[in-house]
Amino acid sequence: MPWLDSPAHERWLEQEGDRLLAFGRASRHPNGFSWLDDDGAPDLERPLALWVTCRMTHVYALGHLMGRPDNGVLADHGVEALRGRFHDEVHGGWFSEIGPEGPTVTAKTAYEHAFVVLAGASATAAGRTGGRVLLDEALAVVLEHFWDDELGMVVEQWDQDWSTLDGYRGANANMHMVEALLAAADVLEDPSLREKALRILTRVVHELAAGNQWRIPEHFDSTWTPIPDYHHDEPAHPFRPYGATIGHGMEWTRLALHLRAGLGDAAPGWLLDDARSLFDTSLREGWAVDGTDGFVYTVDWEGRPVVRERMHWVAAEAVAAAAALHAATGEAVYDDLYATWWEHIDARFIDHRRGSWRHELSPANQPSHVTWRGKPDIYHAFQATLIPRLPLAPTLAVALARGLLG
C-alpha cells in the first residue's frame, strides 16, 4: 500500500508529532520560548528569538486543535509573550530578540513579522485568548510597513522607529509571508490576502525562478536586482546563504500547491507546472548528489553543491512537498520519494534517544554544527507530520478547526 494511503503510516506520523510536542514543552520561558540544546534543555545564554517564540506558539495552537492536553496553555503563553515583552509599545511591531533587560536587536524584519502573523492566525483559529488581537495588529504592521503594493512583494528590514529602510531585499522573508498570508486569509475569510500571496509567488516563482533554470534567486538590492554573489564568503549562513537553497525550492513547491488549492477554480494553470519544475530541480540538484543520501544545503548558479551539510528542515520540507504533489496529482512517483525520504529522516535525523530531530548533519550524515547548534524549535518537523494528513486547503489551523484531519 502507498505510504500516503496507509492508516498505519498515519498512526506513525501522529506518534512522531506527539513526540515532538513533548520535546518542545521544555522550551517554555517566562518571556516566550527558549532555544533548546541537543538534549532538549533551554539554552539560557541565548537571547529569546522572536521567530522561535512565534513558531512554537503556532505549533502549540495546532496541538491544541488536535486535542493535546496543555497545548492550549502553551499557545496562550506564546500569545502573551508576543503581546508583552517582544512587542514595541512605543513604535509598534516586534523586536527580533529580547534578553533579561529588554531588546537585544531593535531592527524590525519581515521574516520575523511573517511568523507573528502565522502565530496570530493559528491562535485565532484555535480560539485562544488574545489571538485575534495579535493577528489584527500583526497584519496591520505588515501591510503598513512591509508590503510594497507597487511590486507585490515585502521589503526586508526597518530600524526601530520605522524611519530608515534597509536596502537589502530577500526571497526568504517573502516565502514565509506567503505562508502567513495564506493562513490569515483562511482564518479571516479575506481573499485579498490570498491575492497578495499570489502576487509574491508570481514574482518569485513564475518570473524569477522560471527565468533562472528553476533556481530561486534569494538576495536582491533595493531595486530588486539579484545579487548572485551575496554571502559568497559566508556560504553556510543560516538565513541568507550564498547560492540557491534546495530546501526553499521544496518549500515554494508546497506553498504554490496550497495557494492553488485555496484559489480553486480561479487558480492560474501555471501553479502546478511551476511546482513540478521547482520540485524536479531541487530533487535533481539536491538529493544524494555527492554519492551519499541526503539533501545538500545549497548549490551554485550552475547547480553544483556548495554547502553539503544536511539540514533537518530541508528534509522536512521535501517530504511535505512530495505529499503535496501526490495530493495534487495522485502520481505514484511522489509517494515513492516520500517513503524514501521518511526512511532517511528516521535513520539519520530523528534522535530516538534524546528527542526531536538533529538539526544538522555532515556530508557523511553524522551530527554537525557548521550552521546550527542545538534543536531550536519543532516547527518544520512537526508540520511534516501533519501536512500529509490534511488537504492542501484550507491551511493547517483552519483545517484542524474544521475537523479535516484524516
Are the C-beta atoms of 148 and 160 separated by less than 8 Å?
A: no
Helix residue ranges per DSSP H, 142-245: 171-188, 191-201
Q: How many residues are listed for the chain in this entry?
A: 406
243: left (phi over 0), alpha (psi -120 to 50) or beta: left
Q: Respond yes or no: is residue 380 known to be catalytic.
A: yes
Helix residue ranges per DSSP H, 308-370: 312-329, 332-344
Closest CA to 205 of 216, 219, 213, 194: 216
Cell numbers given for 243: 547560492
β-pairing, 310-311 vs 298-299, is: unpaired
Q: Tell whether the torsion through CA atoms of 288, 294, 300 and 301 is positive or negative.
A: positive
Q: Respond yes or no: is residue 369 known to be catalytic.
A: no
Alpha-carbon gap, residue 191 to 184, rounded angstroms: 10
Closest CA to 396 of 375, 372, 379, 377: 379
Are the C-beta atoms of 322 and 337 separated by less than 8 Å?
A: yes
Q: Which of 29, 248, 258, 326 is catalytic?
A: 248
Helix residue ranges per DSSP H, 163-269: 171-188, 191-201, 246-263
Q: Which of 258, 312, 359, 380 is catalytic?
A: 380
Are the C-beta atoms of 342 and 319 separated by less than 8 Å?
A: yes
β-pairing, 102-105 vs 97-99, is: antiparallel
Cell numbers given for 192: 485579498
Q: What amino acid positions are annotated as catalytic residues?
A: 248, 380
